[in-house]
Structure 1
Amino acid sequence: MSKDKTDNRINGALGPAGRAENWRRLGSEEFDVVVIGGGVTGAGAALDAATRGLRVALVEARDLAAGTSSRSSKLFHGGLRYLEQLEFSLVREALRERELMLTRIAPHLVKPVPFLYPLTKRFWERPYTAAGLLMYDTMGGSRSVPGQKHLSRAGALRMVPALKRSAMIGGIRYYDAQADDARHTMTVARTAARYGAVVMTSAQVTGFLREADRVAGVKVRDVESGDEVEVRAHAVINATGVWTDELQSLSGGRGRFRVRSSKGVHIVVPRDRIVAESGMILRTEKSVLFVIPWDNHWIIGTTDTDWHLDLAHPAATKADIDYLLEHVNTVLATPLTHNDIEGVYAGLRPLLAGESEETSKLSREHAVARVAPGLVAIAGGKYTTYRVMAADAVDAVASDIPARVASSITDQVPLLGADGYHALVNQADQLAAQHGVHPYRIRHLLNRYGSQIHDVLAAGDERPELLKPVPAAPDYLQAEVYYACTHEGALHLEDVLTRRTRISIEYPHRGVECAEPVARLMADVLGWDEATVAREIDVYTKRVEAERNSQSEPDDQAADAKRAAAPEARQELLEPVE
């Protein structure tokens, strides 16, 4: 193995040269497991299988975390409201996973976040909620974070001055955790590559290979070039989330469960529009509403409505946005308006919709089904418990693999960037002086890359201009764009502006004003000519325009029609099988 290949393997780099090599390997090697789907469950399954010593390939039609896994509420949480539904095992499992992320697996990416639970009913609500939070803390919710703290109305207002005095009679502060979901998913996939998995994006499954009655691999199309290849494997895991049913139809098998898509919309507003030291969790007539601190912003969400239209590009409507504003404004002293909104995003939850009442109750849990010999599907669940879901999926295909399959060990495997992170936090001032950037910037980078920060900053050694901010998006360095292409598998402008960074939801221009300089930086790595640069800018600009237009429409059908007007960045994508 050449030095470059060895270095890429060690740091899990997903760059242009590595992509060409991975495409060659897909067609020339036989794998133990092929995982379809580059969301957090698929990436987790690839990492789980690779760290068990299996030969693994992960294929994703679009980009890592292109679907649900970049459009969540960005929380690692136990699911406080599930206690009311008596889902004790689900809460306990989620809290254990949250603890693992905070302490061992991803302390650089997953951070504690405080929430205020405002109390509105006298006498019964405080003891009732306190009992639930005590259970939450006892199950593991207060190991690495503080336990619940009771506040009077005055104390709650000191914590969240933005609240109306009349909106509560007191409050309880508790802690959960949060992460940039797209960055976390991408890091899981890169960690899988670090342990030998072949990770291939823009790789659409178009069919299944069969030997007698069993699935023996997949047919894959490179949607960048149109090339096709057959990938042979002992087992295939369908981890495609809301696309599960489409893949099951493509395989010719009848699934044990169906997946129902539920749309969740979030809005992003500037931090100074809500004066508060903590997030908030508010009860609504349907569920709960989160107000989540997000660097210099707040994320407010979410909705929960059925979605039966385009799975790749769910559209937020004016009604969705109005719902969020109306509910959050019931408690805010200074109401938010549409003019305050910096960004909007819509995602789809893959909920289980079983054929009987018994399986319908699984909607917040996950299920694994053997669709056919050699093919397993996994769906449902929560982002927080992705690691458990991944382990269950690999356990389910173990009987199809000739070699002995070891037990899952991912609870012992830190993600890329975790090792050495805490020491580097203590050395932030020295790193800042060494590279000529502000210590605040170093700490920001450490919370995005962990100990991989050295590779990010190294680009500035030969090109000092890369250590300057991205034009019109000063929270990010140009080196981050460069690194997204050399190490993080970004192939298109939207990959960088919507997932490797979150420029598309954090700035009112939604990335349009920095599209050209970012595209030109990417061109240096990916070898784009002027026509490609122009096309990438045009496609991204039309995407933003279509999203803005959809967000002024009154219903899903009208919003979907507006969003569908935008072209695909990946031109060779085939239409899904009906």
Structure 2
Amino acid sequence: MTVLSPNQRAESIAALGAQTFDVLVIGGGVTGAGIALDSSSRGLTTAVIDAQDWAGGTSSRSSRLVHGGLRYLYNLDFTLVAEALKERGRLLTTIAPHLVQAQPFLWPLKKPVVERAYSALGVGMYDALALIGAGGHKSVPLQRHHTRAGALRRFPDIKPDALVGAIEFYDARVDDARLVITLIRTALKYGAQAASRVRVTKILKDDSGRAIGVLATDVESGEELTITARRIINATGVWTEQTQDLAGGSGGLKVLASKGIHIVIPRERLKATTGMFLRTEKSVLFIIPWQHYWVIGTTDTAWHEQLKNPVPTSADIDYVLDHANEVLAEPLTREDIIGTYAGLRPLLQPKVLDETKSTKVSREHTVTEVIPGMVAIAGGKLTTYRVMAEDAVDFALGPSLARAKPSVTAGLPLLGADGYAAMRNQAARLAAKYGFDADRMKHLLSRYGSELPDLLADIDADPSLGTPLGAAPQFLRAEVHRACTVEGALHLEDIFVARVRLNSEARDRGGSAVDEVAEIAASALGWDAERTAREKQNYRERIAAELAAQRQPDDAAASAARMEAPEIVG
């Protein structure tokens, strides 16, 4: 079994200082994780590091959608949409069918003829591009048209006067952080070395000015590391410019941070069997159904505060509520909200910093040379992470070596994908054996896929792990244990934020589960009483800071309130 664990991390830390890698990836979000898998699966010696937890930035705070970008068709950006839909199909059918599920959405229509006609044309083109990308095979159903009565049957809680009918189309949803962690683990399977909470402090260069490695600090221990590599790929998202600056020179990308926020409400609060897609004056708003809740967002506003801990403001929350309530029969209130979160999109600016450097511009993302031996990639979106990764590695290798060692990830299943259909067919048998209901089995299969037997083996070894968390019964104690022993959690906040995601899915951000989760983590990670108490205190202070931040009127005040909570390390 391929695991992210403290022992694995220690081995990788030792390897980072002991060998020269073909490729060093800085950044452990979805792009960096995808690059690590692309590189390692080509047979290149690969290392990937991140200053935070895996998916610690934008990649754990997205809309959790895998989609072609229907709104881009309004800009006639057919190539971008076609690429994203092709990747959506690969994720649904081959790469991660356990993590990515098809999801229907209603597009409400307000005018009976003209709007339905041009919307049908747009959605029809969306479907056609998806079919072309999948070689004529459907990965999701095609569009359906509904009258007002038909739309109300699919989404009873919409205002009858908010639409004259609707078009139902499909995209897909994904647990973003789980996708990233699975990408990192799959890269390990193919020989990569991976260590979270390793911060780069300097880019090392030879006498000719070529990048040959980095100085870095293991944030957990304070140890300084020298990591040597033939090629460095900067995939640090909104931190792109800060990472580039460590190299000096004039090359690289210019990236601005744009904040998107989401609110989370209980599943029972809205009566509907489909999601909803709404156009706003600034962007789009999605109402996205999950197993136990709804995610509603997003916003799109410039963010000029610290980058590590973006937070929603009171005004942001009002914006999302107001736009959702334009179409909902029973308006949502703040009392309905059980969670909020904010992420920063790395908006790529049109020009690279040094036009004399070699550059590849590919639709929404760009790869360019920072200095010889170091490239940067930014832009794009979660859905097209694989294409971005392939482009980044191709660019770093150069045309000749890229042809000799081509990418293989287009048809490469992630851990948990191989055998997923067969495992899904075992659901009834396993449910009977372990006393799980259908809802529990659906939850477990969508998180672990064909790796579910590994989780069940932990329960066989310790039956107490088969019981639900007292304060969050949608999760088993075994899931907390696995977060520590297999999925790379080093701290209590890692569990709550990116693995057992109560930080954004519970009204108290998981506060009532802290004692029980800490007890499981302490056993799995070998914490003593002092360390356990410190972890609990830290996470409770984070909860208080996040709740205080979302009551603030503007970004500056919200950011200052969030930063009242100290970091657990570093």
How far apart, in 1, do the equivalents of 2:128 and 2:8 lie?
46
Deviation at 1:399, TM superposition (A): 3.3
> CA offset at residue 402 of structure 1?
8.1
Q: For residues 467 and 136 of structure 1, what CA distance do their matches in structure 2 show?
A: 43
Deviates more, 1:225-234 or 1:426-435: 426-435
Q: Which residue in 1 is equivalent to 2:427?
A: 428
* Alignment match, 2:134: none
| Cα separation, 2, equivalents of 1:364 and 1:564 | 36
1:515 alignment partner in structure 2: 514
Q: Is the 8 A contact 2:177 2:499 kept in 1?
A: yes
Equivalents in 2 of 1:139, 1:64: separation in Å?
33
Alpha-carbon deviation of 1:355?
4.4
CA distances 1:59-89 after superposition (whole Å, capped 9, x unpaired):
0111110100010000000000000011110
**Matches of 2:477 and 2:18, distance apart in 1:** 37
Moved over 4 A (4+): 400-405
Shift of 1:208: 1.2
The answer for the alignment partner of 2:333 in structure 1 is 337
- 171, 177, 180: which is aligned to 1:176? 171
Contact 1:257 1:354 in 2 (8 A): no
- Superposed CA offset, 1:31-64 (max 9, x none): 0000000000000000000010000000011111
The reply to whether residue 320 of structure 1 matches residue 316 of structure 2 is yes
Task: Kindly provide the amino acid, as one letter, of the partner of residue 66 in structure 1.
Answer: G
* Pairing 1:311–2:294 present: no
Which of 87, 104, 111 is 2:94 aligned to?
Answer: 104
TM superposition shift of 1:111: 0.3
The answer to whether the Cα contact below 8 Å between 1:469 and 1:476 also exists between their aligned partners in 2 is yes
Distance of 1:123 and 1:172 partners within structure 2: 13
Q: Does residue 1:73 correspond to 2:63, yes or no?
A: yes
Output the CA distance in 2 between the equivalents of 1:70 and 1:339: 25
2:120 counterpart (130, 138, 141) = 130
Matched residues in 1 for 2:74 and 2:248: separation? 40
- Cα distance in 1 for partners of 2:314, 2:400 equals 50
**Corresponding residue to 2:48 among 58, 66, 79:** 58
Deviation at 1:272, TM superposition (A): 1.5
Contact 2:394 2:402 in 1 (8 A): no
Alpha-carbon distance in 1 for matches of 2:293, 2:485: 29
For residue 244 of structure 2, the aligned residue among 216, 237, 248 is: 248
Letter in 1 for 2:316: D
Q: Which residue of 2 aligns with 1:8?
A: none
After TM superposition, list the pairs within 5 Å mapping 1:39-50 onto structure 2: 39-50=29-40
The equivalent residue for 2:524 is: 525
Question: Is the CA contact 1:245–1:255 (under 8 Å) kept in the aligned structure 2?
Answer: no
Corresponding residue of 1:219: 215
CA positional deviation for 1:209: 1.4
Give CA deviations for 1:287-316 in whole Å, capped at 9, x if unaligned: 111000011111000000000111110011
SS of corresponding position for 1:313: coil
1:165 counterpart = 2:160: yes
Q: Does 1:548 align with 2:539?
A: no
Q: Is the 8 A contact 1:364 1:380 kept in 2?
A: no
Unpaired segments ≥5 residues, structure 1: 1-10, 573-578
Q: Deviations over 1:434-493 (max 9, x none)?
A: 334334323321110111111112111221110001121111000011111111110011
C-alpha distance in 2 between matches for 1:437 and 1:405 = 49
Residue 21 of structure 2 is aligned to residue 31 of structure 1: yes
Give how far 1:405 is off: 4.8
Kindly state the Cα deviation for residue 19 of structure 1 after the two structures are TM-superposed: 1.2
Task: Give the letter aligned to residue 382 of structure 1.
Answer: K
Matched, 1:538 2:537: yes
CA spacing shift, 1:287–1:249, aligned 2, 3 Å: same
Structure 2 residue 1 is matched with structure 1 residue 18: no
Which of 210, 213, 231 aligns to 2:205? It is 210
Which secondary structure does the structure 1 equivalent of 2:398 belong to?
helix
SS at match of 1:519: helix
Q: How many residues align?
A: 558
The residue that corresponds to 1:489 in the other structure is 488
- Work out the CA distance in 2 between the residues paired with 1:63 and 1:253: 29
In structure 1, distance between residues paired with 2:352 and 2:393: 26
- 2:167 & 2:311 partners in 1: Cα distance? 35
Q: Does 1:95 align with 2:85?
A: yes
2:254 alignment partner in structure 1: 258
Over 3 Å counting, the alpha-carbon distance change for 1:295 and 1:403 in structure 2 is: closer
Q: Distance between the aligned counterparts of 1:243 and 1:456, measured in 2?
A: 35
- Which one of the candidate residues 277, 283, 291 is aligned to 2:279? 283
- Give the structure 1 partner of residue 444 of structure 2: 445
* Structure 2 residue matching 1:533: 3-state secondary structure: helix
Q: Deviations over 1:248-292 (max 9, x none)?
A: 111113234200100000000011211111000011111111000
1-structure distance, mates of 2:231, 2:205? 11
Separation in 2 of the partners of 1:321 and 1:432?
Answer: 39
Deviation at 1:506?
A: 1.4
3-state SS of 1:453 partner = helix
TM-score by structure 2 length? 0.95
